[in-house]
Structures are given as C-alpha cells and as structure tokens.
Amino acid sequence: MAKAVAVTGNQAVAEALRQIDPDVCAAYPITPSTEIMQRFAAFVADGDVNTILVTVESEHSAMSACIGAAAAGGRVVTATSSQGLALMWEMLYIASGMRFPILMALVNRALSAPINIHGDHSDGMGARDAGWIQLYSENAQEAYDNTIQALRIAEHMDIRLPIMTCMDGFIISHSIERMEYLKDEEVKDFIGEYKALNPLLDIDNPKTIGALVLPDYFMEHKKAQADAMGKVKAVVLDVAERFGKLSGRSYGLFEDYRLGDADITLVIMGSAAGTAKDVIDDLRNRGIKAGLLKPRLFRPFPYEEIADALKGVKAICVMDRADSSGGYGPLFMEISSALIHIKERPVMINKVYGLGGRDFLPEHAETVLNELAEIANTGKAKTFKEYITVRE
C-alpha cells in the first residue's frame, strides 16, 4: 500500500532523493529550489543517506563538483533554479558532452532582470540546447515520479546523458498537495545499482577524460552524443511502463487530454496544464470539442508522436511560459516544427503567459479557447503571437 502524504513539491523531490541515496550531491542553495537541499542536507546530517554532500561557493562549482564526482564513478544529483542554472551554463555542456548521467532537480524560475523569484520556464528553456534530457512536471506527484524515473533513463547504457526534472517554482515547489510515496525498497529496486562507465577511481586502469578533440574527430563525438539523444524516447517509454506497473500511474512522452476528436487544442506545459484541464472539461460539457496536449519530455522533443497526436485538430494555441525575445516562444517553435510535415496543418497561435509567476487562471484559459473556437470557424488568426494577462 502506497503512503499518501500532503507535502510541497520540494519536499516530495527531497524525499525522492533520500530514497535514491546518491553517492554524491553538490549544490548551492537558490530560491525556490532551496528547500530541496535544505531537507536533503538534514537527511545527510541525520545519517538517513550515505551521500557525500559537497557544499560549494557557487552553482558553477556545484556542477563542476558533480562532473568530477560522476567522472570518479559516482551516482550524482543536484538541484537549482534560475540564476543558478544560468551560472552553471558552461558546465552543463561539459556534463552532457562527457556523457555523465547526472540528475538535476530544476525548480523553474524567471531569469533576472528585473529580478524575480517566481516560476516561469525561462531557465529550463535557456538550457534546452545543452544536451540534457528534460522532463517537465504538472504537480508534486509528477515531480516525485519523474525524479525516480529520471535516473533509469539517464543511466541506461545506450543513453548516459544528464537529465533535468523540472517543476514550476512556488506553484508546485511550495504548494502542499496530496500525493503518494513509494516504499524505500521499491525505489531502491526500481533504480537498481549504479553502474559506472570507465570511472576514474578504477585506478588499475588509468585513463584520460576531457581530452582535446580537434576538427578531425569533433563531429564524430557530437554525432555519437546526438545518437544517444535519439534513443531517449524509447527508454523513457520503457521506464514509464515499468514505473506504471510499480506505482499504478501512467506516463508517456506527453499527456493527451480529451484530444481524440478535438477541434481546438491547447498545448501547455507544467502546472498551468492542470488549470487548463478544468476549463477543457467545462467546454466539453457545453459540447465544444476542446482538448489539451501537455509535453512531458521536452528534450529530446517527440516531434513525430506529437504531430500524430495533433493531426486533425483545426486550431491550436501553444502556451509558452517563457519567451524567446524576438522569436516565437520556445514551445511554439517545437510544435510548429513537429507539424511542418503534416499536409493539412491546423491554424496555430502562440500566447506567452505566466512570466515571473504571473497567475494563470481558468478564465485566461477560457479566453484563449474561445479565440481558438472562432479561429476554427473562420480558419483565420488575428495575431500569431501575443502576451496575455498583461496590462496595457
């Protein structure tokens, strides 16, 4: 029998990390992910885990220490947010290029300036090209479940890539929800023993890592890395299936909600998807064929599968909780790319919402869906990209 609890998202992720009991954790506290490390540090201090906790002086050093520990041959975790992730930037590419399956709990928060501590996806989207796998969560349960599944994905011998499990700052990280924990031994069995690949601490077999690679071999290394990324989707589905048997909760590459016969659809990621689903239900009760698609795996992006799921929809609004200044929102760009090969494409619009923690309420979802209904009728959109819930 699973244990039902009422906890914050941060507490749930800290509990997952305790159950994982990693070899090394190097972290520097930053709002809103601080509570994860605060609680995990207590587990270390109380002897509840065997982890070596490295308290460093910056996030750049945190990721550097994680890379060193992973190179040595350890199972490694960390957590951060916003400016912290931004400060890790150059080390993120080194972690992925050196193929270390480091697990990072990313509590999404806006990037400065103006300085803000609340949730949006700017930090995660800024790291989308860094070679890390990214999973996004809608609530505390998903954040917990994704944290446990993440290790099996990242550590798979065909993959060996670092992974970020993302949840919205404050909205998930600091809100108390009812959710279920797995038992310690269930988690232990599920993640299994860590298998190091060419660890430096295997001192009988000296080796070189991080060597210079010049134009004659650089593209071969990058191709091998890209090929591993290409295998992630299948591993995510396989891990999700096994996790489903264990927990009774099913996961895929994305969630399709009442999408089968939908004329109008929202594509929306993270906590706001939960809000939007209620509105979809209301519209369905009124006979409007509305649906929703919530991406879970953002890197690698499941283009073909999402294109398949969105086939036949007349109008789509992609909701971005981050902006690519001067471009469309990052999620919109991916959905557009996914649909480019479809012959009968839906009309697509892009709304930027929720920046810096701005509330996303059911009425906002309803306004967007009403606009979509009109577009589905006329086949024409008035504006392709727009900020919503912003004062004139």
Residues of this chain that bind other proteins (CB under 8 A): 97-100, 157, 160, 197-198, 205-211, 213, 216-217, 219-221, 223-225, 227
Q: How far is the CB of 52 from other proteins (least distance, A)?
A: 22
Specify the DSSP element, H or E, that contains 318.
strand 315-320
Cβ atoms of 157 and 195 closer than 8 Å: yes
- Nearer to other proteins by Cβ, of 129 and 304: the residue is 129
Cis peptide before 300 (omega within 30 of 0): yes
Hunting for tokens 């990693």 — which residue is that?
A: 22
Q: How far is the CB of 233 from other proteins (least distance, A)?
A: 20
How many Å is the maximal CA-CA distance in the chain?
71
Q: How far is the CB of 198 from other proteins (least distance, A)?
A: 5
- Nearer to other proteins by Cβ, of 210 and 260: the residue is 210
- Nearer to other proteins by Cβ, of 193 and 216: the residue is 216
Which one-letter DSSP state was computed for residue 111?
A: P
Q: How far is the CB of 181 from other proteins (least distance, A)?
A: 34
Q: How far is the CB of 208 from other proteins (least distance, A)?
A: 4
Query: What is the C-alpha separation between 323 and 83, in angstroms, rounded?
Result: 16
Query: How many Cβ atoms sit within 10 Å of the Cβ of residue 3?
Result: 10
Please state the length of the chain. 392
- Nearer to other proteins by Cβ, of 221 and 311: the residue is 221
Query: What is the C-alpha separation between 67 and 1, in angstroms, rounded?
Result: 37
Q: How far is the CB of 211 from other proteins (least distance, A)?
A: 6
How does 8-17 read in b/e, with b if 16+ C-beta sit within 10 Å?
bbbbbbbbbb
Q: How far is the CB of 165 from other proteins (least distance, A)?
A: 21
- Nearer to other proteins by Cβ, of 57 and 216: the residue is 216
**CB-based contacts of 55, cutoff 8 Å, min separation 6:** 26, 27, 28, 41
Hunting for tokens 């064929």 — which residue is that?
A: 289
Distances (CA, A) of 69 to 65, 72, 138, 388: 6, 5, 31, 44
Q: How far is the CB of 74 from other proteins (least distance, A)?
A: 15
- Nearer to other proteins by Cβ, of 99 and 294: the residue is 99
Of 320, 383, 326, the residue nearest 351 (C-alpha): 320
- Nearer to other proteins by Cβ, of 118 and 160: the residue is 160
Of 282, 275, 281, 289, the residue nearest 364 (C-alpha): 275
- Nearer to other proteins by Cβ, of 199 and 274: the residue is 199
- Nearer to other proteins by Cβ, of 209 and 342: the residue is 209
3-state secondary structure of 189: helix
Q: How far is the CB of 160 from other proteins (least distance, A)?
A: 7
Query: What is the C-alpha separation between 331 and 345, in angstroms, rounded?
Result: 17
